């Protein structure tokens, strides 16, 4: 039986400042963005929280803009906003690709980047992209703003470093050069939770600057994971076969209802192979 809405409270701030004060003074409150994940929990009667903070009106958190060298994507930017943004498509096409594969049109119109990050599902499609992009999560409270490297944001299964008085306000993405790739493998091409997601990028070395390789996987572990030893092997110029051997050693995929560890291992190797062979195209 679906959970009940009656008996739950929704606070409706009109500005970020109001929202942060409410979080500080009237908490604990659960932030509510597009509600596409929260509503699923309500429907399955697993939503325990009773007091919510509506972020939907906070237009200031929806902007996508350049600040200096950084691309700043507001937490309330929806997946549709992300897909339509010329800045995102130019600077980080793998993020536009990931958002374009989140659910269907309705989910993309409501679901937000901040919600995808905060929900901390191992299958969140944008998470491997942000890991591969060396992104930074911007967290804000009435006490100020702090920046956390995306690779340090998750502390375990569905656990993050965000404090209850903080909101994710944006994500900052540095300048990325070279080839980027996003691949999602699931039961169907659309509307399916992934079995393996990979985001990767390759920036050839320039002068004394070494090559940069980033490879991140989703849906294979309790949190998004970077294949750091495989990255280092490829960046050092070793052959793909050597890197595939390293990937096989460092990757210990989960076995679950959606797929087996063996399948995930093979798919991950195939995705890496395709990416690496196509990197100069």
Ligand X SMILES: Cc1cc2nc3c(=O)[nH]c(=O)nc-3n(C[C@H](O)[C@H](O)[C@H](O)COP(=O)(O)OP(=O)(O)OC[C@H]3O[C@@H](n4cnc5c(N)ncnc54)[C@H](O)[C@@H]3O)c2cc1C
- Residues of the shown chain interacting with ligand X in the complex, contacts defined by CB under 6 A: 30-38, 40, 55, 75, 102-103, 107, 110-112, 114-116, 118-119, 124-125, 167-168
Nearer to ligand X, 224 or 244 (CB): 224
Q: Which residue is nearest to ligand X (CB)?
A: 115
CB of 240 to ligand X, least distance (A): 29
Question: Which of 185, 177, 200 is closest to 273 using CA atoms?
Answer: 200
CB of 277 to ligand X, least distance (A): 27
Q: Rounded CA gap, 29 and 50, in Å? A: 8
Nearer to ligand X, 80 or 233 (CB): 80
Q: Rounded CA gap, 111 and 109, in Å? A: 6
CB of 215 to ligand X, least distance (A): 19
CB of 114 to ligand X, least distance (A): 3
CB of 62 to ligand X, least distance (A): 11
CB of 191 to ligand X, least distance (A): 6
Nearer to ligand X, 41 or 242 (CB): 41
Q: Is the dihedral of CA 227, 229, 234, 240 positive or negative?
A: negative
- CB within 8 A of 179, min separation 6: which ones? 201, 202, 278, 279, 280, 281
Nearer to ligand X, 191 or 262 (CB): 191
Nearer to ligand X, 98 or 176 (CB): 98
Structure tokens at 188: 């169907």
- The burial of 95, by beta-carbon neighbours within 10 Å (0-12 exposed, 13-18 middle, 19 or more buried), is given as buried
Nearer to ligand X, 42 or 269 (CB): 42
């Amino acid at each position: 039986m679906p959970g009940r809405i009656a008996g739950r409270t929704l606070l409706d701030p009109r500005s970020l400042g109001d929202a942060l004060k409410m979080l500080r003074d009237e908490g604990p409150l659960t932030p509510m963005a597009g509600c596409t994940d929260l509503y699923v929990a309500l429907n399955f009667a697993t939503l325990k929280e009773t007091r919510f903070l509506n972020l939907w009106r906070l237009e200031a958190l929806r902007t996508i803009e350049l600040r200096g060298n950084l691309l700043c994507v507001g937490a309330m930017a929806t997946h549709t906003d992300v897909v339509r943004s010329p800045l995102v498509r130019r600077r980080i096409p793998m993020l536009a690709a990931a958002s374009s594969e989140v659910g269907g049109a309705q989910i993309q119109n409501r679901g937000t980047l901040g919600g995808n990050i905060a929900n901390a599902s191992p299958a969140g499609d944008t998470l491997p992209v942000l890991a591969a992009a060396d992104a930074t999560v911007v967290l804000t409270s009435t006490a100020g703003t702090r920046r956390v490297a995306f690779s340090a944001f998750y502390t375990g299964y569905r656990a993050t470093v965000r404090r209850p008085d903080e909101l994710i306000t944006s994500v900052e993405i540095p300048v990325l050069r070279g080839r980027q790739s996003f691949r999602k493998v699931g039961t169907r091409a659309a509307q399916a939770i992934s079995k393996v997601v990979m985001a990767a990028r390759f920036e050839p070395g320039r002068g004394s600057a070494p090559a940069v390789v980033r490879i991140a996987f989703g849906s294979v572990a309790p949190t998004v994971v970077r294949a750091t030893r495989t990255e280092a092997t490829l960046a050092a110029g070793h052959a793909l076969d050597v890197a595939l051997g390293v990937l096989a050693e460092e990757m210990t995929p989960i076995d679950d209802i959606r797929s087996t560890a063996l399948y995930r291992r093979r798919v991950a190797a195939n995705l890496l192979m395709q990416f690496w062979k196509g990197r100069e195209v």
